[in-house]
Amino acid sequence: MAQMPEFPDLTKMMKDFDPTKFADEFSKVLKNYKLPGVDVDGLVASQRKNVEALTAANRVTFEGIQAIAKRQTEILQESMNEVSKAVDAITKAGSPPEAAAKQAELTKYTFEKALANMRELAEMVSKAQEEATKTINTRISETLDEVKEMALKMKQGAPAAPKK
């Protein structure tokens, strides 16, 4: 029987990622081109911030996914417990009309509970997306300001460094 491949530990990969090393390699490549009037260190600093923002957004997204998976597991456990109780309640109902009434009551409760759970999970997804998007949007705005500043300084003939 074929053995399933082992998936990488994404948590470890996120912890081991070093934006500084990435930025240093990026800097080495750019410095080899010796572009006149271009502030390579400024570009590298800007890209380092971009990678750091992306890493932070990915971390928030991953934490959101973990929280959602945990909550889904809890919902499943709660549902299994409720199914067991429902079966007991229906079997203990006296007459067939009482059993049918109990079944209708439990069906309504189950439907309402499922809607509430879906709403809760949707809110968790939305919150995780909002947090990750906020990080990226903030960085995009900062990057555009840095590019504008670099362009103005290049026009004046001096290399521009991004704001720290």
Q: What does the pLDDT look like over 68-81, one tens digit per residue?
A: 999 999 999 999 99
Q: Which residue has the higher pLDDT, 115 or 17?
A: 115
Q: Is residue 20 part of a domain?
A: no
Would residue 64 count as lying in a domain? yes
* Alpha carbon distance 17, 29 (integer Å): 19
Q: Is residue 25 part of a domain?
A: no
pLDDT tens per residue across span 19-44: 667 667 766 776 777 666 777 778 88
Region 51-77: mean pLDDT is: 94
Is residue 153 in some structural domain? no
The total number of structural domains in the chain stands at: 1
pTM above threshold 0.85: no
- Judge whether 19 lies within some domain: no
**CA-to-CA distance for 104 and 45, rounded, in angstroms?**
64
Instruction: Answer whether residue 17 is part of any domain.
Output: no
User: Which of helix, strand or coil describes residue 39?
Assistant: coil
Q: Is the pLDDT of residue 16 over 80?
A: no
61 pLDDT more than 70: yes
Q: What is the mean pLDDT of residues 66-93?
A: 92
Domain that includes residue 74, residue range: 37-147
Residue 21 lies in a domain: no
Measured CA to CA in angstroms, residue 22 lies from 48, 50, 55, 142 at distances of 8, 11, 12, 20
